[in-house]
Structure 1
Amino acid sequence: MTTASPHTTAPDKELTRLLHELSAPGLAFSDQVLAALDEQEAFPADAIRELDAFGLPRYYVPAEHGGALDDFGTIVRLLRAVSRVDLTVAAAHGKTYLGAVSTWIAGEPGQAARLARHIREGAVVSCALTERHHGSDLLAGEVTAQPVAEGNGGWRLTGEKWLINNVTRADQVTVLARTDPAGGPRGFSLFLVDKSRLAPGALNHLPKVPTYGIRGADISGIVFRDAVLPADALIGEPGQGVEIILKALHVTRTGCVGMSLGAGDRALELAARFMTQASSQGRRPAELPCVRREMGEAVAALLLAESLGMVAARSVHALTGEMSVVSAVAKAHVPAQVDGLIARLLQLLGPYGLLDADPHRRFAKLERDHRIIGIFDGSSFVNRNALIEQFPRLARSYRKGRWDEEGLAEATDPRAPLRPFRPQELRLISGTGASVVASLPAAVAQVHDLAGSSASHRLVDLAERLRGATDRLHEAMAAVRFSPRAVPGHAFELAERFELCFAAASALHLWLRGPAVTDEARLRGCLVKALTDLDEPVDEADREDLDALADALLSAPPGTVPSLLDSWEGTTR
């Protein structure tokens, strides 16, 4: 096992170097070892220990509680680094942050301090929300917590939680339970359950559930049998459970983006490696124009997702009150985009993409593993439904040109210092709409001002077409009428289009706030991809930017993928 060293460089870059070293044959992150664990559906315990030794748990603990987390983007980048190598390991290790965040948001100071200490010492935390018969319908939950009158008080927890990541291996579990028999939004509370403090027989773990992807992960269940919890197990106030969880999901859904981006990096790298190998006829597949175009579309899809992911992670700090919108957009769009690019590349690989032989089994495993990321912390359907509920506010703020100028500048400039994350500013509904999209007309006006100097006339034209599509979209959003349980099908199509506009606007804002050397061609590729997916007319000359993206990927050094953010960081990943 490795020994952690002081972090003198960006932690994600240090972790990336470590993972490369640990990918040597026979070591914990080697393709052969991870493939064997996947085949056996075995938990990647050695890989998890290496991440613990590196000190990754410190980044799940906010700095104010003694940890290393002062920028949420760090979590996204660290999970991305691990996911480039193996999604099972990333999902298994990253669950601790997902399990702890409710305490960071609403826990008492002493409760948060204890949990922080346990995590720094290696404790694993899980989050038990779903139940066997209710899926994502949290208000239908049947697990109950009743006040205990005798002794020192506390709560008596009873019932089953199922399909929970890491719940068997976890030392502590955040549990959502019904505390009012009538249920409803104020009928549930959250509890941080320390297994070591429960009486014998108070819980038992259910068998591991076989899964299509991330086969080695601990996906199982837990049954509480009159488990008596101390009074200090309650997170927040009685009846606040659903509200706290919804706010926590605004953060954790954004964290899931890192796993999808890492999977996208891996897919592009594996495909590029295959496409640049000579066939039996001596010609490389990458030399075929149709292959280059498909590869370019896949790169553009990842650049769009990356732009959205970067802005979403910074928005946790800078646009906290808008995270109900930002997180829903990020969680619906990024996994879906990466699923799409994996499917696109799988078509190019043909039967080789699904062969159960090294190296092709790596792509087949990646395809299986990533499917579950879109389900974690709410599926795309759930997130789009949450977005649709805010259509009136989003359309109104766009029409009025209303946005948080200071927060937007901070969210879209990777070099700007971030304000501390203030959980108390999280809202279930955004009061200011979506600043990233509402400010798009102003951003397009800036591009016009740069025409002929820092911006080409082709970029001006693409940006103007994006604005037109966004204008028409918000008119359609404003016209949607629905009741809470009768959302029309076309509203989900509009939500998907809003995600594309948000992602493209993110890329445009990032470019505008970047230095003069920022690569315009990559931005144009993003806009061409977004306009194509929005069914806007795009001519062949515009599509040549996609070929340029393919060339950048196919000529990149092994283990790197072109990034829209390279110009700001000064290096490739």
Structure 2
Amino acid sequence: MTAFSLDPAQTARSAELRTLAVRRLRPLAEQGEPGRVNRALVAELGQLGLLDRLFTSGALELCLMRESLAYACTEAETALALQGLGAHPVHAHGTPAQRARWLPGVRAGTTVAAFALTEPDAGSDAAALTLTARPDSPSGWRLTGEKCWISNAPEAGFYTVFARTTPGAGSRGVTAFLVPADRPGLGGAPLDMLSPHPIGVLSFDAVPVTADDVLGEPDRGFRVAMTTLNLFRPSVGAFAVGMAQAALDATLAHTAGRDAFGGKLKDLQAVSHQVAEMALRTEAARLMVYAAATAYDERAPDVPRRSAMAKLLATETAQYVVDTAVQLHGARALRRGHLLEHLYREVRAPRIYEGASEVQRGIIAKELYAAVRSTETVTTTGTGATETTETTVEAAP
């Protein structure tokens, strides 16, 4: 297992970011229109230099940022994460011209980015994309089809879009394209969600794209998607840990001060044991998130498994912790505007997006079995043949 520890500077930056989020970001978040891109909030993230850190920091630093923002202002956390998710493919796989065109605006918070992978019938099965890129010229294509559950749609300035360029080739026949929002034939509509985030559908009616719009290599777009998700899945876990910690801290304060049955609520053994379980699970999830991020930064070979484990454990843990916090607060936590009412709506989606919990379990199992190598050896003696079967279990190279 990868060893790691946070240095004092990292701890101090996390505390500073929490304070900054409360003072500078939360007021802007409260002024935003539910379900719409909060451009003032995105711009402030740019002014504070936080968006620039998306491209200059490693995975652990990204996780620390997302955890701190989630604790203090989930809207700011989401705005930052979506900028990173939409633009990281450009940073990692784009040409110098593509980076020069799109990344300065993303860093400054003046351009909104979006990651368009999911389709109505291709959510968890990302290799089953049906958005079609049909050849239109020697160096061009026309995109036809639909994307759904796309964060920042239809308000983004550009979209990282994944489309099928080779029919019947599964994940090997997908190409990533950079599609400006003003491209003819591109339309969209917002969706009304449980937690009012900017999210919508995109429709592609023979949208023209050229070789200059290809991100990476033709038919290698699935790799672009997966390298992005391997980075951002642990940071989804960090988002979940931040929400879990906020719920835990609120519960500690509430149970320590609430009078019940002749004492304080915390004095009831059933309550204290629940709070202990909340703390235990939150800390375990945090450690797994940090370990996965450190593995990514160190280019460890088991990043896909660690990323899946971190996202799975952290998001499932946050669901448990927030739900338990609501139970211990009682009806007050269900009132619109209460912190826990807000977290209760926010905490559900991370178990689905960027790979549902079931998908993460599948990735974990696949990676584990891939590391199992069975060999059969045959030994021969001078008096005859003796067949011996030997099974070895080792880490795959």
Q: Scaled by the length of structure 2, what TM-score is found?
A: 0.85
In structure 1, the residue matched to 2:20 is 18
Task: Give the alignment partner of residue 190 of structure 1, picking from 176, 193, 199.
Answer: 176
Q: CA deviation at 1:148?
A: 3.0
User: Counterparts of 2:98 and 2:201 in 1: how far apart (Å)?
Assistant: 25
More moved, 287-296 vs 7-16:
7-16
In the alignment, does 2:71 pair up with 1:84?
Answer: yes
Q: CA deviation at 1:400?
A: 6.6
Task: Give the alignment partner of residue 329 of structure 1, picking from 300, 309, 312.
Answer: 309
More moved, 261-270 vs 282-291:
282-291
In the alignment, does 2:49 pair up with 1:55?
Answer: yes
Task: Give the alignment partner of residue 98 of structure 2, picking from 111, 122, 128.
Answer: 111
Q: 1:241 and 1:275, CA in 2 relative to 1: closer, same or farther beyond 3 A? A: same
Deviation string 1:322-372 (CA, Å, 9 cap, x unpaired) is: 11111111111110111112222233223332233x5xx210110111100
In structure 2, the residue matched to 1:138 is 126
Q: Aligned to 1:211, what secondary structure does the other structure show? A: coil
Q: 1:322 and 1:355, CA in 2 relative to 1: closer, same or farther beyond 3 A? A: same
In the alignment, does 2:212 pair up with 1:225?
Answer: no
Contact residue 93 and residue 224 of structure 2 kept, 8 A: yes
Please show how residues 37-48 of structure 1 align to structure 2 within 5 Å: 41=35, 43-48=37-42
User: Counterparts of 2:77 and 2:264 in 1: how far apart (Å)?
Assistant: 33
Contact residue 128 and residue 175 of structure 1 kept, 8 A: yes
Q: Aligned to 2:352, what secondary structure does the other structure show? A: coil
Q: 1:282 and 1:106, CA in 2 relative to 1: closer, same or farther beyond 3 A? A: same
User: Counterparts of 1:256 and 1:305 in 2: how far apart (Å)?
Assistant: 12
Q: 1:287 and 1:209, CA in 2 relative to 1: closer, same or farther beyond 3 A? A: same
Contact residue 88 and residue 369 of structure 1 kept, 8 A: no
Deviation string 1:121-164 (CA, Å, 9 cap, x unpaired) is: 322211111112332222332211123326xx333222211110
Deviation string 1:216-238 (CA, Å, 9 cap, x unpaired) is: x1110111222222311111211
Q: 1:96 and 1:318, CA in 2 relative to 1: closer, same or farther beyond 3 A? A: same
**Once superposed, what is the RMSD of the aligned Cα atoms?**
2.7
Q: CA deviation at 1:84?
A: 1.0
User: Counterparts of 2:277 and 2:94 in 1: how far apart (Å)?
Assistant: 45
In the alignment, does 2:333 pair up with 1:353?
Answer: yes
Please show how residues 284-303 of structure 1 align to structure 2 within 5 Å: 284-303=264-283
User: Counterparts of 1:394 and 1:338 in 2: how far apart (Å)?
Assistant: 30
Letter in 2 for 1:101: H
In structure 2, the residue matched to 1:211 is 193
Q: 1:46 and 1:387, CA in 2 relative to 1: closer, same or farther beyond 3 A? A: same
Identity level (%): 25
Q: CA deviation at 1:90?
A: 1.8
Q: 1:256 and 1:220, CA in 2 relative to 1: closer, same or farther beyond 3 A? A: same
Larger fraction in strand = 2
Contact residue 234 and residue 292 of structure 2 kept, 8 A: yes
Q: 1:55 and 1:293, CA in 2 relative to 1: closer, same or farther beyond 3 A? A: same
User: Counterparts of 2:239 and 2:106 in 1: how far apart (Å)?
Assistant: 21
In structure 1, the residue matched to 2:3 is none
Q: 1:125 and 1:395, CA in 2 relative to 1: closer, same or farther beyond 3 A? A: same
Q: 1:274 and 1:42, CA in 2 relative to 1: closer, same or farther beyond 3 A? A: farther
In structure 1, the residue matched to 2:244 is 264
Deviation string 1:254-308 (CA, Å, 9 cap, x unpaired) is: 2211210111111112212211224277632112222111101100100100100
Q: 1:238 and 1:17, CA in 2 relative to 1: closer, same or farther beyond 3 A? A: same
In structure 1, the residue matched to 2:147 is 161
In structure 1, the residue matched to 2:114 is 126
Contact residue 35 and residue 198 of structure 2 kept, 8 A: no
Contact residue 116 and residue 159 of structure 2 kept, 8 A: yes
Q: Aligned to 1:320, what secondary structure does the other structure show? A: coil
Q: Aligned to 1:185, what secondary structure does the other structure show? A: helix
Runs of 4+ in 1 over 6 A off after TM superposition: none
Q: How many residues align?
A: 372
Letter in 2 for 1:146: R
In the alignment, does 2:346 pair up with 1:369?
Answer: yes
Contact residue 189 and residue 239 of structure 1 kept, 8 A: yes
Q: Aligned to 1:180, what secondary structure does the other structure show? A: coil
Q: Scaled by the length of structure 1, what TM-score is found?
A: 0.60
Q: Aligned to 2:230, what secondary structure does the other structure show? A: helix
Q: CA deviation at 1:42?
A: 5.3
Contact residue 176 and residue 189 of structure 1 kept, 8 A: yes
**Structure 1: where are the runs of 5+ without partners?**
1-6, 62-68, 404-430, 433-573
Q: CA deviation at 1:113?
A: 4.1
Letter in 2 for 1:57: L
Contact residue 256 and residue 376 of structure 1 kept, 8 A: no
Deviation string 1:360-388 (CA, Å, 9 cap, x unpaired) is: x2101101111001112101101111121
In structure 2, the residue matched to 1:180 is 166
**Structure 2: where are the runs of 5+ without partners?**
1-8, 375-390
